[in-house]
Structure 1
Amino acid sequence: MQSSMKKKVLIVLTNTTRYGETNDPTGLWLGEATEFALILQQAGVQVDYVSPRGGFVPLDPRSMKYTDAEIMQFYETADFQQRALTASLAPNQVDPEAYAAIYYAGGHGVMWDFPDNQPLQQIAAKIYANGGFVTSVCHGIAGLLNIKTAAGDYLIAGREITGFTKSEEWLAGKKAVVPFFNQAAAEKRGAHFNKRRAYREYAIQDGQLITGQNPFSAKAVARLLMKNLA
């Protein structure tokens, strides 16, 4: 891939504010965006933020209980508050040619607005076809489920991937409200789903696909991506 370090990385965030038809709030899991973006920016890689509808990105209130000084510092920057949370790009504002990779951040909200967003799928497929990387963490795997190759096959078919597990949904108390389970949905499309202990850092690479299991895996995904872009 030519001069990938000069290319940017596109971070995908959710616009979903609640769990389905409930009044229970959800949104982006904050650390999954900030921890990933920080590692890239420290390496001199520019990031942009996109969401299915563009504009406002809600935060999952539960994610604010799992912050540290580093996450809060990044969250408080004017750049992140403006470009990620207030005025994220819409898919039609994105030129796939400008990016070396796309990264789907999680939070339960993505399960409602990532899987069937065709403009985002087309962006990801183009980045992949150009030799770039398609990456995700936790529930962000929902964004990979329906991406297809130029040949019309599921991108994840026959590939080693990971994402938020059923046991982790159970531990999170969300098993009854999620619209699907990541492992079952991925395996239905022919993927080989890998997992480790619940809520432990775990990321895996299979060619141009890099995926992380849970919120504690965002940095591991970022480090794997940076190894490939360096």
Structure 2
Amino acid sequence: MAPKVLFVLTSHNKLGNLDKPTGWYLPELAHPYHVLEPKTEIIVASPKGGEAPLDPASVEMFKDDVSVNFLNTKQSVWKDTHRLDEFVGKAKDYDAIFYVGGHGPMFDLVDNPTSQQLIREFWEAGKVVSAVCHGPAVFVNVKLSDGSGLLQGKTVTGFSTAEETQVGLTDAVPFVPEDGLNKASGGNFVKAAEPWGEKVAVDGKLISGQNPASATGVGEAIAKAIGV
């Protein structure tokens, strides 16, 4: 039987106090999905279920074949998601959980109790816990059953301060992922030599990617970690 991977998308569609749409980021779903779909069973969830908002800016910005093909042929993947709370207590049935980036998760997943419980359950069941870009921010406040932070002492990456500054959204988000991740990990945040470079951090069952360029690499790291 194929391994099962739970993909998590945001349900949030407004960018902080700006009158701009947001959501999940096209290549950060399209590329890992492209890598994993032939080898795994993928189930997609979001806090509210139903249609998860796609950030229109990511459609404009990413015209690569994988992203365009996904956009044109896989709409049911994000238009009919399960509710996140359906998966509480079911970590044993899955091999990995993966959080797609975009600015949306900063608003509805970072402090989401259901999300934090799921991450804790997956981690403590020995499953792969993974995310890309703004996605790793959802790990910042996760506490394990013994009270320790999930990220404490772990090597982790995510969207960098330089990248957030370049897109002009440092004031729109509750915190910049690099800052939160570096603090939660005890100074173990890593990043590519240059902004927008590919960087994937693998620390045991914890897999994180820095930005859209890292999305394929995260998918490949998940595949390797679950043995497909």
Mark yes or no: TM-score above 0.5: yes
1:120-159 alignment runs, 5 A limit: 120-159=115-154
**1:81 alignment counterpart:** 75
1:194 partner amino acid: V
Contact 1:7 1:98 in 2 (8 A): no
Q: 1:98 & 1:92 partners in 2: Cα distance?
A: 15
Structure 2 SS opposite 1:92: helix
For residue 164 of structure 1, report the CA deviation from its aligned partner.
0.1
Structure 1 SS opposite 2:98: strand
Counterpart check, 1:161 vs 2:148: no
1:1-230 alignment runs, 5 A limit: 6-42=2-38, 44-65=39-60, 66-77=62-73, 80-82=74-76, 84-94=77-87, 95-191=90-186, 192-196=188-192, 197-230=194-227
Q: CA RMSD in A?
A: 1.4
How high is the TM-score relative to the length of structure 2?
0.92
Structure 2 SS opposite 1:193: coil
Query: For this pair of structures, how many residues does the alignment match?
Result: 222
Contact 1:55 1:90 in 2 (8 A): yes
Q: Percent identity?
A: 35
Contact 1:31 1:71 in 2 (8 A): yes
Structure 1 SS opposite 2:28: helix
For residue 76 of structure 1, report the CA deviation from its aligned partner.
2.1
Deviations 1:99-139 (A, max 9, x none): 11111110011110111111111112111111111101000
Contact 2:49 2:82 in 1 (8 A): yes
Q: 2:63 & 2:148 partners in 1: Cα distance?
A: 39
Q: 1:74 & 1:190 partners in 2: Cα distance?
A: 34
Contact 1:116 1:146 in 2 (8 A): yes
Mark the runs of 5 or more structure 2 residues left unpaired by the alignment: none
Q: 2:210 & 2:72 partners in 1: Cα distance?
A: 26
Deviations 1:134-171 (A, max 9, x none): 10100001211122212111100111000001100111
Q: 2:149 & 2:21 partners in 1: Cα distance?
A: 31
For residue 33 of structure 1, report the CA deviation from its aligned partner.
0.5
Q: 1:143 & 1:135 partners in 2: Cα distance?
A: 10
Q: Which moved more, 1:147-156 or 1:130-139?
A: 147-156
Q: 1:172 & 1:159 partners in 2: Cα distance?
A: 27
Contact 2:7 2:97 in 1 (8 A): yes
Q: 1:115 & 1:107 partners in 2: Cα distance?
A: 12
Q: 1:75 & 1:162 partners in 2: Cα distance?
A: 27
Q: Which moved more, 1:14-23 or 1:29-38?
A: 14-23
Mark the runs of 5 or more structure 1 residues left unpaired by the alignment: none
1:136 partner amino acid: A
For residue 176 of structure 1, report the CA deviation from its aligned partner.
2.4
How high is the TM-score relative to the length of structure 1?
0.92
